[in-house]
Amino acid sequence: DADVTQTPRNRITKTGKRIMLECSQTKGHDRMYWYRQDPGLGLRLIYYSFDVKDINKGEISDGYSVSRQAQAKFSLSLESAIPNQTALYFCATSGAGTGGYEQYFGPGTRLTVT
């Protein structure tokens, strides 16, 4: 089984709809991240959480919110989706051990907003 899972894997939604992307991990890591990937722009950090009570904005947090329901679960919400939020979204985790630098990624969620 995958260590970092994301649901759904693909989603098409309409402008103005609320949508939630979910991430779960079995690695026992305390740190979790949400990124979006756009062609030619690499991955950009949306939000990150170093533990259940610690939530931080990344470089492109506008239009997004997150919830850390438990150490193993980190959800990303788009309150009112817009077409330029069409992208590939990745969840990642890292642990404080081994320097905490390595991040482990889920398989991604492809979101299309029409």
* Nearest to 91, CA basis, from 23, 45, 29: 23
For the CA atoms of 1, 90, 68, 22, what is the dihedral angle to 10 degrees? -60
Nearer residue to other proteins within complex by CB, 82 or 96: 96
At its nearest, how many Å lie between other proteins and the CB of residue 58? 7
d(CA 67, CA 52) in angstroms, rounded, equals: 9
Nearer residue to other proteins within complex by CB, 1 or 42: 42
Question: Interface with other proteins by CB under 8 A: which residues?
Answer: 4, 31, 33, 40-45, 48, 50, 58, 90, 92, 94, 99-108
At its nearest, how many Å lie between other proteins and the CB of residue 98? 10
At its nearest, how many Å lie between other proteins and the CB of residue 113? 21
Q: In which element (H, E) is residue 21 found? A: strand 19-25
Q: Which residue has the tokens 């939020």?
A: 85
Nearer residue to other proteins within complex by CB, 12 or 82: 12
